[in-house]
Amino acid sequence: MESRPVKMRGKVVDGVAEIKVLMKHPMETGTRRDDAGAVIPAEFIEQVTCEHNGNVVLTADWGTSVSKNPYFAFKVKSAKSGDTVKVGWTDNLGNASKGEIVLK
């Protein structure tokens, strides 16, 4: 599998960190067909986990109707400069990837 990095940006405003995440993933629904008429198998991110300094602060379950190469933004309370925020995903085929940033 080609590498699927999780790109992240974050900024802290009044103690709340705004995190923007861009994931590389085809998000195939499993209903599309290729030119030969064969069904393209489903391949989509099922779960996303967001951690702040090692504590899980938010999890997301996704279906197939999340757009290809998903963009996702969320906010974390009581965040400050120097904190670590991690975002990881796993898909229905068992693939996984994660990203990490240190807040400025």
Partner 1 sequence: MQIQAIRQPSRRRFIQGLMSIIALSALPFQLLARSTKAFQATKLETVKAELFGDLPIVDSSDISLDIPDIAENGAVVPVSVSTTIEGAEAIHVVIEQNPNPLSASFKLTEFSVADISMRVKMGKSSMVTAYIKTPTTIYKTSREVKVTIGGCGG
Residues found near partner 1 in the complex (CB under 8 A): 16, 27-29, 31-32, 46-47, 50, 52, 55-68, 70-78
Structure tokens at 3: 């590498």
Q: Which residues contact 77 (CB under 8 A, 6 or more apart)?
A: 15, 16, 57
Nearer to partner 1, 3 or 55 (CB): 55
How far apart are CB 51 and partner 1 at their closest, in Å? 10
How far apart are CB 52 and partner 1 at their closest, in Å? 6
How far apart are CB 81 and partner 1 at their closest, in Å? 17
Report the amino acid identity of residue 11: K
Residue 102 to residue 104: CA distance in whole angstroms: 6
Nearer to partner 1, 66 or 97 (CB): 66
Length of the chain: 104
Residue 94 to residue 99: CA distance in whole angstroms: 17
Nearer to partner 1, 52 or 97 (CB): 52
